[in-house]
Amino acid sequence: DIQMTQSPSSVSASVGDRVTITCRASQGIDKWLTWYQQKPGKAPNLLIYAASTLHSGVPSRFSGSGSGTYFTLTISSLQPEDFATYYCQQANIFPVTFGQGTRLEIK
Amino acid sequence: QLQLQESGPGLVKPSETLSLTCTVSGGSISSRDYYWAWIRQAPGGGLEWIGSIYYNENTYYNPSLRSRVTISVDRSKTQLSLRLSSVTAADSAVYYCARQVKSTTSSDYWGHGTLVTVSS
């Protein structure tokens, strides 16, 4: 199985800050990396697929990059509604595997 | 608008079989463009993929659960089903069904999730 490792596991930031979360795959997955946002008590929401393609309706302050084994999710200017947990998921092959999550908290 | 709704018992006894249903409305479950998946999340934990089924009923399972999992579809009812046998407390989780886009294996629609607790 492909292991996905996110860092940091948690981060504190303020409204307006720029934040970057990283995700590393244990082997190359080309561009097949997905990012989700999850708020407490809710199902995850798709943010970005194929490493850098924004899902419909996702604000442009979110961006993704990377290929192979190293990927990033960047939020350019944090808004209050962005405080949540973020997960990466490799989408290259089954079994699908997720990172352990990054909790983004208000400073 | 596609909607997914999980249903099933909220409490299952250890060693018994967990059975959940996901009812899909507002769309077809027979499209070649999508898989249909079950994903779970233990309390306070991360996301764990359980398995997926394709329109031709090919199934793909998490190796760690393969011996205990069965995923099936009922096209006449537009329902997706999950059976997980020999459950233990470690299987207590919120269970989600989701639609996975085949080309990206990304889940673009999710149910709200249903909490299943394994306890005697």
Compute the average pLDDT of residues A80-106: 95
pLDDT level of residue A24 (50, 70, 90 thresholds):
very high
pLDDT tens-digit series, residues B14-50: 999 999 999 999 998 999 999 999 999 999 999 999 9
Chain B CB contacts of A97 below 8 Å = 49
How confident is the prediction for chain A on average, in pLDDT? Answer: 96
Contact B105 A96 (CB under 8 A): yes
Q: Tell me how far apart the terminal alpha carbons of chain B are, to the nearest angstrom.
A: 39
More confident position, A94 or A63: A63
Q: What percent of chain B has pLDDT over 70?
A: 100
Alpha-carbon distance B110 to nearest alpha carbon in chain A (angstroms): 7
Helices (H), A1-107: none
Chain A CB contacts of B52 below 8 Å = 94, 96
Picking from A45, A87, A91, the nearest residue to B104 by CB comes out as A91
Model pLDDT, residue B113 = 98
pLDDT level of residue A92 (50, 70, 90 thresholds):
confident
Specify the pairing of strand B106-110 against strand B59-61: unpaired
The count of other CB atoms within 10 Å of the CB of residue B69 is 18
